[in-house]
Amino acid sequence: MMRIFRIAIAVLVAIASQIVAIQPAKAAEISAIGGVVSWDASTFYQPTGCSNFSFNYVNGTGIRLLEFGMTITSKFGDKLVDKSVIGMPAGITGSWSVQICASDLADGLGPYNVVLSVEDYQGSVRTAQGQLTFISRSGVKTPMVTTPVVTPKPSVGNSGTITSILQLASVKIGLASKKATISWPSVFDASGIETNYQVRITGKNKATFGAWRNTNFNTTYTFTGLSKGGRYQVEVRPLSNLGPGALKRVTIKAK
């Protein structure tokens, strides 16, 4: 009887050890300027055949995105997962169901690099990176480590301005024969993304402006074909996904 009791105790201890060994890891998350991808690491067990795994995403950037994507690659650069959403509106949430098979884990249980990429309609791209390690089914959990590496926002000082009301700090003028070059400091929106810019100019000695011209993110623009001695007014303004910012106006006299 005592022997049976001891065997029963040993079995219970073994079961308890297995339970402790496979305690769920914490949920993992990576974020880039408000765009977020997360997953429940406790569900990522080594597949014996093929298994489906879920990744949740949120566009918390406050702006519509050109592309919101996630890739998972091995340490050797082999791509395991490649998912994306094109034209993602602000505030959208959802999930990707990803099928991973045992044959896909030829490089072992990990760690695998999970990369989030967020691109806006101005062509600015921000990324964040984490790591995912699958849990061994042998009963011993391999550690799951996340090390977010978020691309920093642009440095702001004399070189630019971040403001909720987009506006230029100043405009400089350079004159040459029959042309004028204007320049200004970079402007970044509240998310740290540099804006595009637009410029326009009046006719000679006139108050009516021509059409706005995009500078394609350049912070300089040259007007040519000016008449010597003519007075012109020039306006420049930042432009983000949410619309144009405050404009700056300068007057020039062509050489």
Do both 111 and 208 map to the same domain? no
Q: Are residues 188 and 117 in the same domain?
A: no
Say yes or no: 123 and 172 in one domain: no
pLDDT of residue 36: 93
DSSP state letter for 211:
-
| Phi, psi of 12, rounded to the nearest 5 degrees | -65, -40
Same domain, 101 and 53: yes
Which pLDDT value is given to residue 139? 52
Let me know if residue 15 belongs to a domain.
no
Q: Does some domain include residue 21?
A: no
Nearest to 155 by CA among 192, 129, 120: 192
Residues 178 and 232 in one domain: yes
Same domain, 30 and 126: yes
Asked if residue 51 lies in contact with residue 100, where contact means CB atoms within 8 angstroms, the answer is yes
* pLDDT tens string 152-178: 343 333 334 433 346 666 778 888 888
Per the structure, how many domains does the chain have? 2
* Count of CA atoms in the C-beta half-sphere (13 A) of 111: 13
Strands (E) located in the chain:
28-32, 35-39, 50-59, 65-73, 79-88, 93-101, 112-120, 125-132, 160-162, 172-176, 179-183, 186-188, 196-201, 213-214, 220-224, 231-240, 243-244, 248-253
Instruction: Select from 113, 132, 151 the last residue of a domain.
Output: 132
Q: Evaluate if residue 23 carries a pLDDT over 90.
A: no
Q: Is residue 141 part of a domain?
A: no
Percent of the chain topping pLDDT 90:
16
In a domain, 203, yes or no: yes
3-state secondary structure of 2: helix
Q: Determine, yes or no, domain membership for 16.
A: no
Q: Is the same domain home to 128 and 47?
A: yes
pLDDT at 12 over 60: no
pLDDT, mean of residues 137-158: 43
Pairing of strands 172-176, 179-183: antiparallel
Residues 119 and 209 in one domain: no
102 falls within a domain: yes
Specify if 248 maps to a domain.
yes
Single pTM value for the model: 0.46
Inter-residue contact 13 to 5 (CB < 8 Å): no
Domain of residue 54 covers 26-132
User: What does the pLDDT look like over 63-105, one tens digit per residue?
Assistant: 988 899 999 988 878 888 999 999 899 899 999 998 888 888 8
Same domain assignment for residues 209 and 249: yes
118 has which bridge partners? 68, 126
CATH number, position 62: 2.60.40.10
**Residue 147 forms part of a structural domain:** no
Q: Quickly tell me which residue has 């984490």 as its tokens.
A: 130
